[in-house]
Amino acid sequence: MTAPTEPSPPSERRSSPWRIPWAAEANAPEAFAASIAAAILALSIHERLAPLIGDSSTFLLLVPSVLIGSALGGCWPGLVVTAFGAAMPFVLGWRGPEPNVLVETALFALLGVGISFVGDRLLRANAAARAFNEMSLQREAHLQSILDTVPDAMIVIDAKGIIQSFSATAARLFQRTADEVIGRNVSCLMPEPYHHAHDGYITRYLQTGEKRIIGLGRVVVGERRDGSTFPMELSVGEVRVGSSHYFTGFVRDLTERQATQTRLQELQSELVHISRLTAMGELASALAHELNQPLSAIANYLRGAERLLEAPVPDVERLRDPVAKATAQALRAGDVIRRLREFVATGENERHDESLSKLIEESLALALVGVRSNDVRIQTVRGFPGDTVFADKVQIQQVLLNLIRNAVEAMAGAPKRELTISTRAGEHGEAVVRVADTGPGIGPALAERLFEPFMTTKKTGMGVGLSICRTIIDAHGGRIWVEETPGGGATFAFSIPPGAEDDA
């Protein structure tokens, strides 16, 4: 796993395609030697070809040696070989001091000086480029060493979402190698619906400048190579280089965070369990007290009615009174329960316009802390236009948390473990949220009593989760129900009112 992200040894990294293998330095002795050798070769070629081409191309044949000298060693080798080339035809006695020869020689000397200066400039530019290249490679090696050691996973993408760099921790976290993901769209690291929506997020940010995650940090869901998902904390920074945009994401795995956090969570939920039991004990005795009266009255009236029915010819008129009174008492008992539920629901009710997708995203991330998330494949499908609901955030998160945890628990031994959370608009514009699992599902007998308090099939269950969910959803003016997941499993659905924007 680590091999592709390990930095390559420095010797390998420094070899650059731009480097001339030898002598590309100002005044290198090799440059003098090579250019003089080239000039001698040109002169000997000229001597052999002289019967064919005459004296006119002596200087033409010498031009390449000036080029070689200035390209390899800059100005001085070029000038020296120019002087050598200009003098040699006279030294060898090929030419005399005739005016045309002198003009030809002067022209060659001028050309040689020009070539030498241009070669010198090119050589210096080449040296500067090499130094710059060397510096870039050093910086890259430095950056790579940071990428390899930074404890958070780090991913750099461009404005099109294409991954530019992928740290060793990121490779471990997402179970993918850097070679595999660099050059691909970053959406390959997220489950649906983010997988398809991510390009849109970047485009929207670039167009509107509205920051939803940059500089803020959020809890989101990531996807490993095998399709399993996990909660992660994501912070994003932005870099502008000229007209290009780059985004750097720092990812912290919340499942890996610390075993202590999971333990803490467990302790906390045990505490909640105990305090719920106490609260329920109190609630139960209050209920028993309140309901005792109407229930015993109902029993008495019905017993009287029974006695009347025992007569050979029952007096229907006299029966009417105890039955009516029993009905009234039953309604009173119902009233007591309704008042109690209203009391529970309105306890700390703080409703505002909330983003439904954010509510789901956060609940999902919270529900997955401490759960072996690679056991379950999670999908969210966004279909509620406008996305805003009018809700008490904490209470709706409690509902989602209950439903998600129930679904994950129900799928523990199932061969297929897929959790889908979807939203859509209901008939009257309300938001409908569905939490669908592929567990064993719910039998028709159980389905009827599911939302009643103390209804549980679990050894350690209390059977209050769903009844609390119903109380919360009722208080929001919505409805909660259960359906069968197509293909097997249970789907819990609830509706809540849309936010002010969507209502309009």
For residue 502, give both structure tokens: 């969507």
Query: Which CB sits closer to ligand ADP, 236 or 450?
Result: 450
Binding characters for ligand ADP, 35-74, by CB under 6 A (x = yes):
----------------------------------------
Question: If DSSP states are collapsed to H, E and C, what string results for 126-191?
Answer: HHHHHHHHHHHHHHHHHHHHHHHHCCCEEEEEECCCEEEEECHHHHHHHCCCHHHHCCCEHHHHCC
| Position among 200, 461, 477, 488 found at the interface with ligand ADP (CB under 6 A) | 461
What's the chain's length in residues? 504
Number of chain positions touching ligand ADP (CB under 6 A): 19
The burial class, CB within 10 Å (0-12 / 13-18 / 19+), for 398 is: middle
Q: Which segments of 373-503 does DSSP mark as H helices, in order?
A: 393-410, 444-449, 465-475, 500-503
Binding characters for ligand ADP, 403-422, by CB under 6 A (x = yes):
---xx--x------------
Please give the residues from 349 up to 408 whose contact with ligand ADP meets the rule CB under 6 A. Answer: 402, 406-407
Beta bridge partners of 230: 222
Listing from the earlier edge strand, what are the strands of the sheet with 431-436?
377-381, 418-425, 431-436, 490-496, 480-484
Closest CA to 417 of 228, 226, 191: 228
Binding characters for ligand ADP, 132-171, by CB under 6 A (x = yes):
----------------------------------------
Report whether 443 contacts 377 (CB < 8 A): no
| Position among 318, 457, 500, 503 found at the interface with ligand ADP (CB under 6 A) | 457
> Does 104 interact with ligand ADP (rule: CB under 6 A)?
no
Query: Which CB sits closer to ligand ADP, 42 or 364?
Result: 364
Cis status of the peptide bond prior to 193, with omega within 30 of 0:
yes
> Does 496 interact with ligand ADP (rule: CB under 6 A)?
no
Segment near ligand ADP (CB under 6 A); pick from 90-98, 243-251, 352-360, 457-465 = 457-465
- Least distance from ligand ADP to the Cβ atom of residue 161, Å: 35
- Least distance from ligand ADP to the Cβ atom of residue 374, Å: 20
| Position among 33, 340, 369, 462 found at the interface with ligand ADP (CB under 6 A) | 462
> Does 437 interact with ligand ADP (rule: CB under 6 A)?
yes
Beta bridge partners of 214: 236
> Does 456 interact with ligand ADP (rule: CB under 6 A)?
yes
| Position among 129, 284, 458, 477 found at the interface with ligand ADP (CB under 6 A) | 458
Q: Which segments of 416-458 does DSSP mark as H helices, in order?
A: 444-449
Query: Which CB sits closer to ligand ADP, 359 or 464?
Result: 464
Question: DSSP for 210-279?
Answer: --SSBTT-EEEEEE-TTS-EEEEEEEEEEEEETTEEEEEEEEEETTTS-HHHHHHHHHHHHHHHHHHHHH
Give the chain's end-to-end CA distance (angstroms, integer).
Answer: 53
> Does 488 interact with ligand ADP (rule: CB under 6 A)?
no
Query: Which CB sits closer to ligand ADP, 145 or 457?
Result: 457
Closest CA to 493 of 451, 446, 439: 451
Segment near ligand ADP (CB under 6 A); pick from 58-66, 77-85, 272-280, 451-459 = 451-459
Binding site for ligand ADP (CB under 6 A): 402, 406-407, 410, 437, 439, 442, 450, 455-458, 461-466, 490
